[in-house]
Amino acid sequence: MGITGYFELQWKCLVVVALRLLFLVPAGVPARSGDSYLKDNITVRQGDSAVLKCSMDNKVSRVAWLNRTTILFTGNEKWSLDPRVVLLNTAVNEYSIKILNVNLYDEGPYVCSILTNKKPESTKVHLIVQVPARIVNVSTDVSVNEGSNVSLMCLAIGRPEPSILWKFRSSKGNRIVTEGEYVEMTGITKDMSGSYDCITSNDISPPDVRTVQVTVNYPPVISRARSTGTAVGQKGVLWCEASAVPLADFQWFKGERRILNGFNGVKIENKGKQSMLTFFNVSEEDYGNYTCVAINTLGITNASIILYGPGAIHDVNNAALSPTCSLLLLTLLLTLSLLSKF
């Protein structure tokens, strides 16, 4: 550092010290009783503007604004290098500054120092910066097998300290799960599969929401199956439905013989959870017991379904049955009894 730079630095230090002595606002030392008073705290949201007001009369000879140990303005002369801090042209008896785009580091005490008739006074204002609640880290979507343990996490920041609420959304409705950063689920079931919303708020702005999708994998369960009675030459449809994650693949059997799509004019059509076996021209040979099999990576299940003719129902109603028809009727009744429980 050259001699000129050295003397320039010393001169600035002397000016700062002189101003502090003049306005009696030493850093870290409270003003004497009667020399200052505390104005109401000013609370602003991060990103907004803050106006710090200071009242004075026409007897003022010197005035300045200070922030902690930094001089912002002396009279109309700006000392702060921060372009966000500006002096407002307000009423004659008011000396106010404005801080644009307020941030956290702007929080703290501000002092307006006034020299009146050689008697210094100061007004202290404490600026409080509030920060809207914001989620900064949340669990990714989860896919687990039924019976597993699941832990979800959601971290948020804000001032004041934000609250965190977890809400569960599914096809059966919505409900509050818990409060706090974590959700712990042990022995998860397929009914717990759905969307979990992490909602954080501190009433400074609208809540911040993030969603975690939880998928529970489970083996197929045949929920519905339908037998049908169809006359020879007519169209007949056997139908079954299986719930499973991932979706089940379907196979149809008659006895031990697997039925292939398109074989003997039979069509197999799978749509999501449902499978249909269609006979476009039913024959006597088509009547009998069929098995719908549902398979995924976690398991396999099946249901028996019967294609029967209207004559068999007529015979049943008239109680004139051959041994073969009796066996068929017994099978039908057992099947219908089982289906009624679904």
**Residue 201, beta-bridge partner list:** 163
Return the higher-pLDDT residue of 58 and 31.
58
Q: Is 341 part of a structural domain of the chain?
A: no
Which of 102, 127, 130 is closest to 52 using CA atoms?
127
Residue 164: inside a domain = yes
Q: Are residues 112 and 175 in the same domain?
A: no
pLDDT score for 311: 62
Domains: count for the chain: 3
268 token code pair:
């197999």
In a domain, 84, yes or no: yes
207-232 average pLDDT score: 93
The predicted-structure confidence for 281-301, as pLDDT tens digits, reads as follows 999 999 999 999 999 999 999
Residues 40 and 95 in one domain: yes
What's the predicted TM-score (pTM) here?
0.67
144 and 252 share one domain:
no
CA 215 to the chain's CA centroid: 16
| 104 token code pair | 């956290």
pLDDT above 80 (res 149): yes
Whether 168 and 255 share a structural domain: no
Q: Is residue 321 part of a domain?
A: no
CA atoms within 13 A on the CB side of 223: 9
Give whole-number Cα distances, 194 to 166, 175, 197, in Å.
Answer: 13, 12, 10
Are residues 179 and 68 part of one domain? no
pLDDT of 1 > 60? The answer is no
Q: Where are the alpha helices (DSSP H) in the chain?
A: 3-23, 310-317, 323-339
Judgement on whether residues 22 and 90 belong to the same structural domain of the protein: yes
Residues 165 and 120 in one domain: no
Q: Is residue 338 part of a domain?
A: no
Gap between the Cα atoms of 114 and 111, Å rounded: 10
The confidence score (pLDDT) of residue 12 equals 42
- In the predicted model, is pLDDT for residue 325 greater than 80? no
What is the secondary structure of 206-273 as a DSSP string? SPEEEEEEEEEEEEEEEEEEE-EE--TTS-EEEEEEEEEESPPEEEEEETTEEEPTTGGGEEEEEETT
Range 254-267 average pLDDT: 88
* 120 and 93 fall within a common domain: yes
pLDDT on residue 106: 92
Last residue of a domain, one of 130, 151, 171: 130
Segment 14-37, tens digit of pLDDT: 344 444 434 433 333 333 223 334
Please, what is the Cα angle at 106 between 102 and 107, to 5 degrees? Answer: 110
**Domain edge (last residue) among 162, 183, 217:** 217
Q: For residue 261, what are the domain limits?
A: 227-309
d(CA 267, CA 270): 10
119 and 151 fall within a common domain: no
pLDDT band at 119 (very low <50, low <70, confident <90, very high): confident
Measured distance CA(202)–CA(198) in Å, rounded: 14
CATH of the domain at 88: 2.60.40.10
Domain boundary among 217, 237, 271: 217
* Average pLDDT of the segment spanning 175-182: 93
Mark whether 181 and 248 lie in a shared domain: no
Which H or E element spans position 64?
A: strand 60-67
Q: Are residues 59 and 91 in the same domain?
A: yes
| Residue 332 placed within a domain | no
Residue 324 counted as domain residue = no
Same domain, 195 and 94: no
Which residue spans within 68-160 are E strands per DSSP? 70-74, 77-78, 85-87, 97-99, 108-116, 119-138, 142-145, 150-159
Confirm whether 178 is domain-assigned.
Answer: yes
